[in-house]
Amino acid sequence: MRRCLVIAPFLAALAVFGLAGGEAAAHGGARVDVELVLLADASNSIDAAEIAFQRQGYAEAITDPSVIEAIAAGRRQRIAVAYVEWGEVGSQDLVTNWRVIDGRAAAEAFAAELLSAPRKAYGRNAIGAALLFGKDQILTNAFKGDRRVIDFSADSANNWGGPDISTARAAVLDAEIEINGLAVLCRACSGRPVSYDLEAAFEEQIIGGPGAFVVTADGPESFFDAVRRKMVLEIAGDAPPERLAETRAPPASQ
């Protein structure tokens, strides 16, 4: 049986390629608690308004007090985060390059850059290519995390061309990178909802690694809370009691 968890923007953008190295030097040794890639769906089912909605959700989540507290509670009290949009084969790109988050000011800078950047990806779903892009971002960045996580979000589990999901997933797990999932089931906060059990597809085909889990957003009201909850779990390294940790919108009042 699934256990449901009901879980009811400061600096101008910086030069992308100098940022990660500069921050790594500033932190001496580039050690962080977590290297976290936020791998967000920007395929054809996601229109411009929904891209903005998704980014706003992540911007609000990373600046939320519960996320800042989770970072502060870590051994090193800092994480490294990058935000990637993905679509078809060859259409995966960094929206925000790797940045150390070690408090509210850094989180707000990340959020500001995320909200101001242009859209980075288009086309039909290529999940295998997206997972491999996320893996390469972790393996080639300037940081060294005690844990390494891909935070994958999508409104379907289809894979149209490129590497198959199972091969890509195996390569990510072989690199000792965990994959968690955000299954997006609402028109207003992503693309068209799918007719099959998206959470089960994520569990069976995409997520993996110790404590890997899926969080569900089934309405605009639950999207921010789902992202926030997911990031807190990933930063703290706490797995939910079950691999399917559904985040449902609260019922309408009678």
Measured in degrees and rounded to the nearest 5, phi and psi for residue 21 equal -65, -40
- Separation of alpha carbons 126 and 107, rounded Å: 29
Are the C-beta atoms of 97 and 133 separated by less than 8 Å?
A: no
Residue with tokens 């996580």: 149
Supply the pLDDT for residue 122. Answer: 92
| DSSP for 5-42, written as a single string | E------PPPPHHHHHHHHHHHTSS-EEEEEEEEEEE-
Q: Is a pLDDT exceeding 70 seen at residue 73?
A: yes
- Axis crossing angle, helix 165-174 with helix 127-140, rounded to the nearest 10: 20
- Alpha-carbon torsion (241, 58, 162, 46), positive or negative: positive
Closest listed residue to residue 149, CA positions, set 128, 175, 126: 175
Residue with tokens 């050690």: 31
Q: Residue count of the chain, please give it.
A: 254
Supply the pLDDT for residue 194. Answer: 76
- Separation of alpha carbons 177 and 171, rounded Å: 9
Are the C-beta atoms of 58 and 95 separated by less than 8 Å?
A: no
Region 131-144: mean pLDDT is 97
Q: What pTM was estimated for this model as a whole?
A: 0.83
> Hey, what are 82's tokens?
């990058």
Amino acid making up residue 9: P
- Report pLDDT digits (tens) over 75-117: 999 999 999 999 999 999 999 999 999 999 999 999 999 999 9
- Report pLDDT digits (tens) over 1-47: 333 333 333 333 333 334 444 444 443 448 999 999 999 999 988 88
Q: How many CA atoms lie within 13 A of 97 on its CB side?
A: 16
Residue with tokens 């408090």: 103
Closest listed residue to residue 183, CA positions, set 239, 223, 134, 132: 223
